[in-house]
Homo-oligomer: A and B are copies of this chain.
């Protein structure tokens, strides 16, 4: 176990991610200074236990964590390297290559800079929900570059360790390709699909089921943040979009060929199984038991008490609501062989079972 002292540290930009880093480092015993263009954010973060809003002596700062929005990263990192001559500087941005390129272009000495990307939280929200556990057991990507000093890399690894993250080290380009593939392009696909809905008449939308809702859900998130992320990673995203375009062309052309359509559908199912499932195990096909719940206080508590009484282990669950009646449905996912037991128990307890298979 190497012994690295990162105190005092400075967090610049205390949205949810920055403030939570402050909470984790403070809990680890470090002195943490907080700064944000919105001084109210800094005060809220301090009140959440993220650190102090007092100004530090620039000479003494050992670590600077830059947690500002993507568009401001390069400038703030460069400023931090200049202002805190004895500090290792890292950032928590979700795109690494363009920031590194901009810093190189600035001609700054980047030995003390090592990028990182904790896969948790979002710059979307403020520090109000900040907590020291945000990064516990979550992937924390560390992206050293060819001029990073060894001690700086060790400092950022220690930062990730103190925050409880699972450390993964890769180059900036490699990282940006990966997030383009598993995050940015999926987001754009959702946005494209959702965009098409704007052209549909209401009577068509009335036939919409759960499937289109799943596919388009993330298209509802903050356009301003995503604009910054996509512009910062445009190169990697373009490569993936061109692949997707080729796949889409192949699909359109294959539409009348049963064998090729079946192939494409199988490939898609295989893809869903390539994502790590619960507890890292291969995904299991659970069976759904759906119970009608009145929108009444206490109903869920009673329902769960009855489910637990049935002694059936709940693998997953979700609630959705009837479009026009004031009732909801609780979908409980259980191992297929437990379905009869749970259904019997629910009926015995007086609950109404319903079916909510995906609409076709």
Residues of chain A touching chain B, judged by Cβ–Cβ distance below 8 Å, are: 16, 20, 94, 119-125, 128-131, 133-134, 137, 139, 141, 166, 168, 170, 175, 177-179, 181-183, 185-198, 200, 203-209, 211-221, 223-227, 229-231, 234, 237-238, 240-245, 247-249, 251-252, 255-256, 258, 261-262, 264-276, 278-280, 283, 295, 297-298, 300-301, 303-305, 307-308, 311, 313-314, 316-326, 339, 343, 352-360
Chain B nearest CB: distance from A5 CB in Å? 28
A174, B1: Cα distance in complex, Å: 68
- Report 24 cross-chain contacts, Cβ distance below 8 Å, ordered by A residue: A120-B355, A120-B357, A131-B353, A133-B352, A137-B322, A182-B197, A189-B193, A195-B270, A196-B243, A197-B271, A198-B270, A198-B274, A216-B268, A220-B272, A220-B283, A223-B265, A223-B268, A230-B261, A231-B255, A241-B255, A278-B321, A314-B319, A316-B318, A318-B318
Contact B196 A247 (CB under 8 A): yes
Known: A200-B182, A209-B182. A357 touches B122 (CB 8 A): yes
The CA of A43 and the CA of B292, in the complex, are separated in Å by 27
CB of A314 to closest CB in B, whole Å: 6
A186 near B168 with CB under 8 A, answer: no
A319 to chain B, nearest CB (A): 5
Contact, CB under 8 Å: A308 / B316: no
A354 in contact with B133 (CB, 8 Å) = yes
Q: Report B-chain residues with C-beta under 8 Å of the C-beta of A206.
A: 139, 168, 276
Instruction: With A196-B247, A241-B251 as known contacts, state yes or no: A208 contacts B220, CB within 8 Å.
Output: no
Question: Lowest 8 CB-CB distances: which A-B pairs, in order?
Answer: A191-B268, A194-B271, A223-B265, A219-B268, A197-B271, A122-B357, A178-B204, A220-B272
- The dominant DSSP class at the A interface is helix
Number of copies of this chain that the complex holds = 2
Cβ-closest chain B residue relative to A330: B317
Given A230-B261, A279-B321, A357-B16, A211 contacting B187 (CB threshold 8 A): yes
* Bound form: Cα–Cα A320–B120 in Å: 14
Query: Complex: how many Å from CA A356 to CA B133?
Result: 11
**Which of A16, A131, A205, A212 has most chain B Cβ within 10 Å?**
A212
Q: Are A280 and B196 in contact (CB under 8 A)?
A: no
Minimum distance in angstroms from A243 CB to a CB of chain B:
7
How long is the Cα–Cα vector from A115 to B12 in the complex, in angstroms? 63
Known: A198-B270, A220-B273. 20 other contacts (CB 8 A): A20-B355, A120-B359, A131-B354, A133-B355, A168-B203, A181-B204, A182-B204, A186-B215, A186-B216, A189-B215, A191-B267, A194-B269, A196-B271, A218-B358, A230-B255, A231-B258, A297-B308, A300-B307, A316-B318, A317-B317
Q: Quick one: which of B94, B189, B194 contacts A192, CB cutoff 8 A?
A: B189
The answer for the CA separation of A304 and B170 in the assembled complex, in Å, is 41
Whether A272 contacts B217 in the complex (CB less than 8 A), given A203-B168, A237-B255, comes out as yes
